Structure 1
Amino acid sequence: MKITVLNAGFAAILLGFSGTGNAQTNLGIPSSLAVQADSASYADIADLVVISSLIVDANVRNLRKIPPEQAVGVPANLQRMLVEADIVTLIRGQEGVAPRVRFLLDIPKDAKGKIPKLKKQRLFLLGSSVAGRPGEIRLSRPNALIQWSAANDILVRAITKEAVQIDAPEKITDITSAFYSAGTVIGEGETQIFLKTAKEQPLSLSVLSRPGEEKRWAVSTAEVIDESATAPAKFTLLWYRLACELPRSIAAEMVEAADSEGAAKVQADYNYILDSIGPCGRKR
């Protein structure tokens, strides 16, 4: 039996929304283990979605301790558990998923050596299927869990919907070059910054300055910079890539400038972009 993928449509990201529609939230699961139900950031959820080929909404059914002799290398402050969970919804996964899954989880112990109660908790599990082992999941990270809440449900589905698109923004790995072009009048000019992405997807930034006007910056995902390009909306996957992956400064050797004034304008415009994007917001 396989559960089919449901549409991940959504109306809008609810800014500042704290979903408490599930009575099983805030039961002491540490943020080091799972993204929290009532204080998640877009970046914390996106970090997990973009690296996971399988995403499910599930209820924890049972947990069993793994004997120490079978958990070699696990630190003393962690307890390795075999977790069984019943699937509520498959959000991402081309091959479907079994109605019940199991996975290994290293859970932090408290000062008394106890672990938080996960049984009956509703969680998003983010990882991949294990080849040749139906019903087995390997988490993308040791803490690739997200507590269920109405707000988190919206975010997981919205980010997944963007991430599965053919032209989804890829990871930014570096700045390849940047230059400044002066305009025909004093105070007019344009900075262009070209970025390197994981799969060589074209990505560039531009800042246009005109006398008496506010600077305008834009991002282009085409080979040729489109004059209609704009800055990305906040809390979208493209915004996340820029906010969380852009270097904090441009290396001097990447700036193609004929003089120090041009190089200074590039750096100033790049700082303007970073300030406009705002902080990544990652909490863990």
Structure 2
Amino acid sequence: MDGAPGAVVQTLPSPAASQPGIQGFSYADLADLTLTAQVVTGVTVVKAERLKGELAPNLAAGRARFLIEAQTGMLLRGADGLAGTISYIADVPLDARGKAPKLKKARFILLANRVPGRPQEVRLTSPYSQLDWTQTTESTLRAILTEATAPSAPPLVTGIGNAFHVPGAIPGESESQIFLTTSDNRPISLSILRRPGEQPQWAVALGEIVDDSARAPAKGTLLWYRLACFLPPRLPEKAVAALSAGNAEAVRADYRHVLQQLGPCGRTIER
């Protein structure tokens, strides 16, 4: 294969920064990688040729660059299919002795983009985009893509629009609504209900109407990821500019509660 696609080289996250997950990656890491890739496919390595010197420019220390030929298997994402055999370049870590791993017959899941005009080549989207195949890895990526392609898939959150707060009829009772902005202008809102002597209850509505079916998202789901990883850390002042000082502070407190309940995004690799 002439003119092999170049590999993207970045600094790997340190083990201390990694969260529990597949190969040390969190759900957010896997969602980041999966949702931006044109192709998600399982492969078995047929041939791996190590590239050195001028054939491996900008190679990070402690890594080896390989030109890999692989047979494709299951295809989780990839419009128009994929060739039975593909080639790509991957940078892989050396072991503690400085030795490169044996890649022939190894099974991986690739997160890649197509190379225009070269149907038998793909380009990995990042240094982290060759994942060891396991059933857990496949199931997690399959679940992410299934949610992302469903008609009810949550939109990408881009920010916060405005917010409202209504005190209840008795002290300690109130409801806040926070309307989010999205990449495709589909409505999504947060509602936070407080009652005396009870923990605040919050929910997400994916539509114009907030009804009893709205719930807080479970962690490790696409909706949770869209919120935990894309909501701003603080409520912007413009969202509460039209409210009284007391109502504005109540909405800020409710927003902090939502962020606390969502928990950290857990992203360990730079986007």
Task: Report the TM-score when normalising by structure 1.
Answer: 0.78
State which drifts further: 62-71 or 215-224: 62-71
Deviation at 1:230, TM superposition (A): 1.3
Kindly indicate whether residue 78 of structure 2 is the aligned counterpart of residue 93 of structure 1: yes
Kindly indicate whether residue 220 of structure 2 is the aligned counterpart of residue 223 of structure 1: no
- Within the candidate set 65, 68, 71, 1:80 is matched to 65
Aligned counterparts, 1:10-21, within 5 A: none
Task: Tell me the alpha carbon deviations over residues 114-153 of structure 1, each in whole angstroms, 9 at most, x when there is no partner.
Answer: 4333332211101222222112112222321222222222
Q: How many residues align?
A: 253
Kindly indicate whether residue 173 of structure 2 is the aligned counterpart of residue 188 of structure 1: yes
Distance 1:203 1:36 in 2: 29
Distance 1:54 1:80 in 2: 21
Kindly indicate whether residue 147 of structure 2 is the aligned counterpart of residue 158 of structure 1: no
Number of the residue aligned with 1:11: none
Aligned counterparts, 1:237-252, within 5 A: 237-252=222-237
State which drifts further: 195-204 or 89-98: 195-204
User: Is the contact made by 2:44 and 2:108 (CA closer than 8 Å) also made in structure 1?
Assistant: yes
Task: Tell me the alpha carbon deviations over residues 230-280 of structure 1, each in whole angstroms, 9 at most, x when there is no partner.
Answer: 111222110111122222211223223533221221111111111222232
User: Is the contact made by 2:164 and 2:243 (CA closer than 8 Å) also made in structure 1?
Assistant: no
- Within the candidate set 40, 44, 61, 1:55 is matched to 40
Task: Report the TM-score when normalising by structure 2.
Answer: 0.81
State which drifts further: 159-168 or 71-80: 71-80
Distance 1:222 1:135 in 2: 42
Number of the residue aligned with 2:259: 274
- Percent identity over the alignment is 43
The residue type equivalent to 2:91 in the other structure is D
Distance 1:244 1:78 in 2: 30
Distance 2:22 2:258 in 1: 31
User: Is the contact made by 1:169 and 1:238 (CA closer than 8 Å) also made in structure 2?
Assistant: yes
Structure 2 stretches lacking a partner, 5+ long: 1-11, 15-19
Kindly indicate whether residue 101 of structure 2 is the aligned counterpart of residue 116 of structure 1: yes
Distance 1:178 1:67, change over 3 A: same
RMSD value, Cα: 2.6
Number of the residue aligned with 1:205: 190
Distance 1:137 1:177, change over 3 A: same
